[in-house]
Each structure stands twice: as C-alpha cells, then as structure tokens.
Amino acid sequence: MNEENFIKTINNLRIENKNKWYFWEGIVNNKNVQIKGFKTWLQIFKIDGISINCPMDISVKAFKDILNKINNI
C-alpha cells in the first residue's frame, strides 16, 4: 500500500468507527505499521517499531499530517 491509500484507509476507518476504538496493522511502503486510535487520537502509531507521538483531540488536518509521517521514517 502507498502512503496516499494508507491515509485514506485510516481516515475512513476513523469515520466508520465514530466514538469507538479502531485498530489497523499492515505494510505501507515496505514498512510495518500498527495503529490503535480513537477519533483523531492515535494512542499507538508505530512504524517499523518506532512510536510516533500523536496528541489528543487534534483537527482532521493535523491527524492526516501525522499519518503522513510514514514518509519520514
């Protein structure tokens, strides 16, 4: 999966699970990605075992910007 499809997939998962926890694990650009989230908060966001910080209650734009960090790891 490429980063554009990854961001769309996770954002859709967030929308489909309004006020519920959601989980996702897969390969993005040959990197292992793990996510556990609630709304726009990613409690767990790991790329190849590296934890990415994500504050709570952020805007959807900021949420997508954090997901885009897949390109920087």
Q: For residue range 26-66, list pLDDT tens digits in order.
A: 999 999 999 999 999 999 999 999 999 899 989 999 999 99
Question: How is residue 2 annotated by DSSP?
Answer: -
Cβ–Cβ < 8 Å for 36, 46: no
pTM of the model: 0.89
**What's the pLDDT score for residue 45?**
95
What's the pLDDT tens digit per position in 6-20? 999 999 999 999 999
User: What is the domain partition of the chain in residue ranges?
Assistant: 3-72
The encoded tokens of residue 54 equal: 């994500």
Asked if pLDDT for residue 24 goes beyond 90, the answer is yes
pLDDT for the residue numbered 71? 72
